[in-house]
Amino acid sequence: MKTQVVILRQQCLTYAQKTEMWAVYRGFYHYTEQSFMERIHRNTHFSLYLHGGKIVGFTGLRIDKTEVNGRRRLLIYLGQTVVTRQYRGQSLLPATVLLLAMKYWKESLTSDVWCWYDALSYKAYLACAKCGTDYYPSRRTETPMHVREMRDFVGKARYGDAYCPQMGTVAKEVNYLNDPTVNIFEEDLQDPDVAFFAQANPRHSEGHGLLVFAPLNRKNVFNLVRRYFSRPFGGRKKASGTAAPSGKPRVAF
């Protein structure tokens, strides 16, 4: 049985689906059910990861069309991502981004299209560092001024005083993560991307986030396609007790 990726408008989610989503989310984040349900309405879409018709993970999406310093932008927020452990490693988030690239290809002709998110952990940061070619911040290059301006625009508009423009980080009142696998140990710092995240977001252990931006350009899309289809049947090799490879993604905007 394959894991499906399905994107729906937030308004199309049923009460039963929201309840399923909460059952998955509560195991990895320190949130109340009321706060979680309130956050659902802040997003415009959700990418659901389904196995046998059951929700085993999801990503919240918010699509914003705006203008920053005279440049038209389509900003795609990726947040609230969670995947049950046995279904990880199946390129579910890259499949989501590829669906978005197909959906909004016309907008890319007249606007700069960017994906962004608030990385609370090094694993969230590696989603870009290991899958993307162009992304910021990066150990490989300085963040250009126009990206800094866009980051500051988003940070101030979305997070207000919690945003630090000097660091590009977002302060949290508490550490919302409830997942010991995201703790950084000494051996993890041997990975230069993990070391960079720890330096760029020095208060990550307190739950603070690092704003990450990646353009939905040809290089990044090509890299995602290559990585997605280089996996056996588009997913990971099936092992004892793990899920089957992910199936073809689909969209229902």
List, for residues 145-169, the tens digit of each pLDDT value: 999 999 999 999 999 999 999 999 9
Place of tokens 């989603």: 127
Query: How open is the CA angle 148-215-111, to the nearest 5 degrees?
Result: 95
| Mean pLDDT within 68-84 | 92
Q: What is the pLDDT of residue 29?
A: 93
- Place 252 in a pLDDT band, splitting at 50, 70 and 90: low
| Mean pLDDT within 200-209 | 96
- Place 28 in a pLDDT band, splitting at 50, 70 and 90: very high
Please determine, for residue 20, whether its predicted confidence score (pLDDT) is greater than 80: yes
| Mean pLDDT within 47-65 | 96
- Residue 69 domain boundaries: 3-252
Please determine, for residue 71, whether its predicted confidence score (pLDDT) is greater than 60: yes
Are residues 120 and 171 in contact, defined by beta-carbon separation less than 8 angstroms?
A: no
Q: What is the pLDDT of residue 239?
A: 37
CA atoms of 249 and 222, how far apart (whole Å): 16
Total domain count for the chain? 1
Are residues 74 and 228 in contact, defined by beta-carbon separation less than 8 angstroms?
A: no
Higher pLDDT pick, 14 / 248: 14
CATH number, position 181: 3.40.630.30
Looking at every residue in the chain, the average pLDDT score rounds to 89
Q: What is the pLDDT of residue 79?
A: 93
CA atoms of 93 and 46, how far apart (whole Å): 12
- Place 237 in a pLDDT band, splitting at 50, 70 and 90: very low
| Mean pLDDT within 79-102 | 92
Q: What is the pLDDT of residue 149?
A: 95
| Mean pLDDT within 119-143 | 94
Q: What is the pLDDT of residue 235?
A: 45
Please determine, for residue 251, whether its predicted confidence score (pLDDT) is greater than 60: no
